[in-house]
Amino acid sequence: MDQFVLLAEPWWVNLLIFVPPAIYFWWRNQPLAIPAAVLFYGAMFGIAFGFAEGAVVVYLRAAVGQLPGYGGTLADVARLSSALYQRATIQNELPQSLLAVEICREAATMFMLGGVALATVHGWRERCAMFLWTFALWDIVYYMGLYMTVGWPPSLVTADVLFLIPVPWLSQVWYPLLVSTLTLIAIAVSRRAL
């Protein structure tokens, strides 16, 4: 079993833990004007997109032969791959051409989440909040989707590559899940009822 590691790499990734309290204190005196229905629709997108993103990672792993059992049933894939699936080594195992595609896919993900924020609300504060809302849900469901399909991550202290832009961001799974959960809470309590 992996041991708990407090800090992420590079060092500045650790600063993400300050995003939820910062946005709460920033927005608490002037609450966000985001209707509950819009948050709900954004949540629908974030949840669906998070699962789709997890599925893409499963397909990518299967395509390059890093996911044993992918020719059988989903139960076979989960049984055979959960102990072997380690996304933290993705930059070493993927061919350079696919690594470039993975980086472009990550950039496209940010554009898609940004597009939802731009299309659903007005005002830069609300757009920032909507981006963070959909991002946090996407992130949480991404890990849930991977766990439900291939049994990964086996624990919250499993190492992962969080992002590849501009350099690989490395941390244990508990860290992005904590930041995303706190972000959702901060946004939910920072909006005014409409």
Show the low-confidence residues of the chain (pLDDT under 70): 1, 64-94, 193-194
Whole-angstrom Cα distance, residue 78 to residue 55? 13
Whole-angstrom Cα distance, residue 118 to residue 158? 34
b/e sequence 116-147, b meaning 16+ C-beta within 10 Å: bbeebbeeebbbbbbbbbbbbbbbbbbbebbb
Can you give the pLDDT at residue 75? Answer: 53
Can you give the pLDDT at residue 77? Answer: 47
Task: Count other C-beta atoms under 10 Å from residue 59's C-beta.
Answer: 12
Can you give the pLDDT at residue 38? Answer: 96
**Mean pLDDT over all residues of the chain?**
86
Can you give the pLDDT at residue 82? Answer: 45
Burial class (CB in 10 A: 0-12, 13-18, 19+), 11: exposed
Radius of gyration of the chain (CA): 17
Can you give the pLDDT at residue 83? Answer: 43
DSSP, collapsed to helix, strand or coil, labels residue 79 as helix
pTM of the model: 0.85
pLDDT digits (tens, 9 = 90+) for 91-120: 556 677 778 888 899 999 999 999 999 999
